[in-house]
């Protein structure tokens, strides 16, 4: 566990009835995504209707937690003051093995050689009292 992150008092995610199963899984250090029971497509971000076929038959399903880096940026001025203690940090778009993309902070040093397509895996970090998903280099 990254001790600098563990001491941050960052704002908690906004949890709604639609997103609650995702955040409950993160708190258990499990990675789940919605999967449509009609068309079989994986869906992320959490929603009420499938973004592929508009079905309302979305089921929370264990997912790999693996993906590859699609793009990234280095944040030097955070959007919330709580993150200032760990700047600069890397935020990336991860293309998950299941298909959807996810925006996440990467637990990768900003000066490390980042490459499009580098393999990543989800990891979980408690920031004060909130568990959050991050991604790290999958070796």
The 10s digit of each residue's pLDDT in 46-95 is 999 999 999 999 999 999 999 999 999 999 999 899 999 999 999 999 99
Domain ranges in the chain are 3-137
Other CB atoms within 10 Å distance of the CB of residue 65: 22
Give the rounded percent of residues in the chain with a pLDDT score beyond 90.
83
Instruction: Let me know the angle formed at the C-alpha of 35 by 30 and 39, rounded to the nearest 5 degrees.
Output: 165
Q: What is the pTM of this model?
A: 0.92
Contacts of 117 (CB under 8 A, 6+ apart): 68, 69
Instruction: Please state which of the ranges 3-7, 56-60, 102-106 shows the lowest mean pLDDT.
Output: 3-7
Dihedrals φ, ψ of 127, to 5°? -110, 100
From the centroid of its chain, how far is CA 39? Answer: 24
């Amino acid at each position: 566990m990254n001790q600098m992150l563990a001491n941050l008092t960052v704002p908690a995610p906004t949890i709604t009835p639609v997103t609650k199963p995702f955040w409950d899984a993160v708190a258990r250090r499990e990675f789940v995504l919605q999967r449509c029971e009609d068309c079989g497509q994986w869906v992320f971000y959490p929603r009420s209707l499938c973004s592929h076929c508009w079905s309302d038959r979305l089921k929370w399903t264990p997912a790999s937690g693996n993906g590859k880096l699609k793009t990234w940026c280095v944040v030097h001025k955070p959007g919330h003051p709580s993150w200032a203690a760990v700047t600069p940090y890397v935020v990336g778009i991860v293309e998950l093995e299941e298909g959807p993309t996810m925006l996440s902070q990467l637990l990768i040093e900003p000066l490390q050689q980042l490459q499009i397509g580098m393999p990543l895996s989800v990891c979980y970090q408690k920031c004060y009292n909130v568990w959050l998903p991050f991604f790290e280099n999958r070796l």
